[in-house]
């Protein structure tokens, strides 16, 4: 970008805002990965200060003045500069509606809520978290009032995660997905044969799991010179720059797949962050336009690639090396079948592809009820348990495996969950386009060669950043508007053969 006039001064100002936000991100990463418990109180104040400073500098009238001056001289700006100016103006108009005092209160409340959630989950006692959740719900409603909305306050919160999407649009999408996926699940559950998973009932060494995940991450293209993997209660990805993108996973010696698929999932996010053009470093263009498009990357790598038969045919010898003697009588087809078992279950992050979106729709229904005042925080566990029984036929044994399993509400991120389901839809559309553009793509996967896929994603998604909206990215990359059809077709084509079912058109 050219450094000219008001736009140059605006970019310098925004670089300071970016640096403050990245400093807060470092503290958040530390809080979730390695901070001792007694540091919680002080960390809340530190995060609140940084959030308030970043908000104050971003929403200062001088920022608005520079935006208007740059807009008055847009003819002198390059295309990327105009795109950045457009996105900054959008963010500024929203942020300027939020008082600094609110930003500080929200940051402090979130920090306290996160640690209460950790304790509540450890004790499997929702009561420990209940008051904190109610405070966050109240603050979320206050935030929606500041931002403004039509129809429902949830729309204002959803806009932060999936710009342009509305609650009504989501309900229409989910009304299409839910019955189709439940019908497929019923067919699968009634299939005469089910995958053999008895061989999974072993102890899988944690160090071996860790080494295997890092091997796969490197093969996928994750740059360990620009990132690292750590452990956390809930896997996540965070970035402080294009050259510092970190992921976490969690290990379970009774579950061979949990760490691996968590790592692949987070690597999909990280490859996106590492794939922004270097010249966009520190600018608003080095961001995804929505969490749905970001989630499409993690779901594509985790499910379409990581749970594919070619993937396991390639990695079966490697898996045997890491777990000598434990897989002598197991072949790639058995691992593939076990990795794609369909069974309604308690935990979202470990749910299969056929049931996953039902977990998301459940959370969407509950959080909209919380935000719209139709559900009190105290009633969340009962409502959760009731929906799990009705939608998935699963009895929830305790709060830790129920309404306390996800970190999102402890962060006050209401409106985030629907992006996971949207990511599934976008991922299927994108991979459909990939197979047309690169007909031998799965043969490459079967050889452990991921460069062709990563190159396509870099060109069509990663390098675009916020130059386009999510619908524009999907449309330009696939030739079609965002829709559920490709995802539903993908599920049918994959799971009907796996379970010996007649395919439904």
Shared-domain flag, residues 51 and 179: no
| Domain C-terminal end among 98, 120, 148 | 148
Q: What does the block give as tokens for 306? A: 């990581």
Task: Give the tokens for residue 250.
Answer: 């969690």
Contact 424, 307 (CB under 8 A): no
Q: What is the per-residue pLDDT for 1?
A: 41
Q: What is the CA radius of gyration of the chain?
A: 23
105 and 206 co-located in one domain = no
Catalytic positions, written as ranges: 266
Q: Which of 148, 180, 199 is the last residue of a domain?
A: 148
One domain for residues 126 and 176: no
The reported pLDDT for the residue numbered 171 is: 96
Q: Which residues pair with 249 in a beta bridge?
A: 231
* Residue 429 maps to a domain: yes
Same domain, 14 and 116: yes
- Same domain as 350, residue 388: yes
What pLDDT does residue 221 have? 98
DSSP state of 51: H
CATH number of residue 337's parent domain: 1.10.1370.30
pLDDT tens digits along 194-245: 888 899 999 999 999 999 999 999 999 999 999 999 998 889 999 999 999 9
Q: What is the pLDDT of residue 3?
A: 43
Pair 400, 306 in one domain:
yes
> How far apart, in whole angstroms, are the C-alpha atoms of residue 104 and residue 17?
16
Residues 18 and 106 placed together within one structural domain of the fold: yes
In a domain, 223, yes or no: yes
pLDDT of residue 421: 97
* Structure tokens belonging to residue 365: 């229904």
pLDDT, residue 505, reads 64
> To the nearest 5 percent, what fractions of the chain are helix, strand and coil?
65, 5, 30
Residue 159 resides in a domain: no
- Pair 108, 26 in one domain: yes
Looking at the structure of the chain, the number of domains it has is: 2
User: What is each CA distance from 356 to 167, 345, 384, 479, in whole angstroms?
Assistant: 20, 9, 16, 26
Say what the pLDDT of residue 350 is: 84
Distance CA 142, CA 137 (A): 9
Phi, psi of 366 (to 5 degrees): -70, -45
Asked if the structure places residue 161 within a domain, the reply is: no
Q: What is the pLDDT at residue 199?
A: 96
How many angstroms separate the Cα of 458 from the Cα of each of 214, 215, 274, 275, 455?
A: 21, 21, 10, 6, 5
pLDDT in tens, the chain (505 residues): 444 699 999 999 999 999 999 999 999 999 999 999 899 889 988 998 999 999 999 999 999 999 999 999 999 999 999 999 999 999 999 999 999 999 999 999 998 999 999 999 999 999 999 999 999 999 999 999 999 999 999 999 999 999 999 999 999 999 999 999 999 999 999 998 888 889 999 999 999 999 999 999 999 999 999 999 999 888 999 999 999 999 999 999 999 999 999 999 999 999 999 999 999 999 999 999 999 999 999 999 999 999 999 999 999 999 999 999 999 999 999 999 999 999 999 999 889 999 999 999 999 999 999 999 999 999 999 999 999 999 999 999 999 999 999 999 999 999 999 999 999 999 999 999 999 999 999 999 999 999 999 999 999 999 999 999 999 999 999 999 999 999 999 999 999 999 999 887 6
314 and 411 fall within a common domain: yes
For residue 391, how far is the Cα from the chain centroid? 23
Q: Write the DSSP symbol of residue 413.
A: -
Instruction: State the Cα–Cα distance between residues 169 and 10, nearest whole angstrom.
Output: 35
Cβ atoms of 476 and 482 closer than 8 Å: no
For residue 396, what is the DSSP state?
-
pLDDT given at position 2: 43
166-to-154, 163, 232, 473 alpha-carbon distances in Å: 8, 9, 32, 19
Contacts (Cβ under 8 Å, ≥6 apart) of 224: 214, 217, 218
Buried b (16+ CB within 10 A) or exposed e, 393-431: ebebeebbbbbbbbbbbbbbbbbbbbbbbbbbbbbbbbb
**198 and 128 share one domain:** no
| Contact between 390 and 361 (Cβ < 8 Å) | no
How many other CB atoms are found less than 10 A from the CB of residue 168?
11
On whether residue 157 sits in a domain, the answer given is no
The answer to whether the CB of 271 falls within 8 A of the CB of 454 is: yes
The answer as to whether 489 is a domain residue is yes
What is the 3-state secondary structure of 196-252? CCHHHCCCCCHHHHHHHHHHHHHHHCCCHHHCCEEECCCCCEEEEECCEEEEEECCC
**Distance between CA atoms of residues 31 and 39, nearest Å:** 8
pLDDT digits (tens, 9 = 90+) for 24-59: 999 999 999 999 989 988 998 899 899 999 999 999
- The residue segments making up the domain with residue 105 are 5-148
If one counts every other C-beta atom within 10 angstroms of the C-beta of residue 259, the result is: 23
The answer to whether residue 158 sits within a structural domain is no
127/189 same-domain check? no
Lookup: tokens for 83: 């795109």
> Environment class of residue 233 by beta-carbon count within 10 Å: exposed (0-12), middle (13-18) or buried (19+)?
middle
Give the span between the Cα atoms of 418 and 363, in whole angstroms.
Answer: 8
Q: Is residue 503 domain-resident?
A: no
Task: Say whether both 471 and 428 belong to one domain.
Answer: yes
Long-range (24+ apart) CB contacts under 8 A made by 222-227 are 222/247, 222/267, 222/270, 222/271, 222/274, 223/274, 226/274, 227/270, 227/274
Give the residue from 113, 148, 183 where a domain finishes: 148
Local structure of residue 302 (DSSP, 8 states): I
């Amino acid at each position: 970008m050219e450094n000219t006039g008001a736009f140059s001064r605006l970019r310098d100002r925004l670089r300071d805002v970016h640096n403050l936000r990245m400093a807060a991100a470092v503290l958040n990463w530390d809080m979730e990965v390695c901070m001792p418990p007694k540091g919680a109180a002080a960390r809340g104040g530190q995060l609140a200060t940084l959030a308030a400073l970043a908000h104050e500098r971003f929403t200062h009238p001088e920022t608005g003045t520079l935006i208007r001056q740059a807009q008055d001289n847009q003819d002198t700006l390059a295309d990327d500069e105009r795109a950045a100016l457009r996105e900054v103006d959008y963010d500024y108009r929203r942020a300027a509606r939020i008082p600094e005092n609110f930003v500080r209160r929200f940051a402090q409340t979130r920090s306290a809520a996160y640690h209460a959630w950790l304790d509540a989950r450890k004790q499997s006692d929702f009561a420990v978290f209940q008051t904190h959740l109610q405070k966050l719900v109240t603050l979320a409603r206050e935030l929606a009032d500041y931002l403004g909305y039509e129809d429902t306050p949830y729309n204002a919160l959803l806009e932060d995660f999936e710009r342009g999407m509305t609650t009504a649009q989501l309900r229409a999408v989910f009304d299409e997905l839910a019955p189709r996926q439940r019908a497929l699940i019923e067919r699968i559950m009634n299939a005469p044969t089910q995958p053999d998973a008895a061989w999974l009932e072993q102890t899988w060494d944690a160090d071996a799991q860790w080494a295997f995940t890092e091997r796969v991450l490197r093969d996928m293209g994750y740059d360990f010179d620009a990132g690292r993997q750590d452990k956390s209660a809930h896997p996540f990805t965070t970035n402080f720059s294009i050259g510092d993108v970190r992921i976490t996973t969690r290990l379970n010696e009774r579950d061979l797949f949990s760490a691996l698929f968590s790592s692949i999932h987070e690597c999909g996010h990280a490859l996106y962050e590492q794939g922004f053009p270097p010249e966009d470093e520190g600018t608003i263009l080095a961001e995804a336009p929505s969490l749905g498009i970001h989630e499409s990357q993690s779901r594509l790598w985790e499910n379409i690639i990581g749970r594919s038969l070619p993937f396991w045919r390639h990695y079966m010898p490697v898996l045997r090396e890491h777990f000598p003697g434990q897989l002598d009588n197991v072949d790639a087809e058995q691992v593939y079948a076990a990795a794609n078992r369909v069974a309604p279950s308690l935990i979202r992050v470990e749910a299969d592809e056929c049931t996953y979106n039902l977990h998301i729709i459940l959370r969407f229904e509950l959080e909209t009820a919380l935000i719209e005042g139709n559900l009190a925080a105290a009633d969340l566990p009962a409502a959760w348990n009731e929906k799990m029984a009705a939608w998935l036929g699963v009895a929830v044994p305790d709060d830790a495996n129920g309404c306390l399993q996800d970190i999102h509400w402890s962060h006050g991120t209401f409106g985030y969950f629907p992006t996971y389901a949207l990511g599934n839809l976008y991922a299927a559309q994108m991979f459909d386009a990939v197979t047309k553009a690169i007909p031998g793509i799965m043969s490459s996967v079967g050889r452990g060669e991921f460069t062709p896929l990563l190159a396509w994603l870099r060109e069509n998604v990663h390098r675009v950043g916020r130059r386009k909206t999510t619908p524009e990215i999907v449309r330009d990359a696939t030739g079609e508007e965002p829709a559920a059809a490709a995802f539903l077709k993908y599920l049918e084509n994959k799971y009907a053969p796996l379970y010996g079912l007649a395919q439904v058109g």
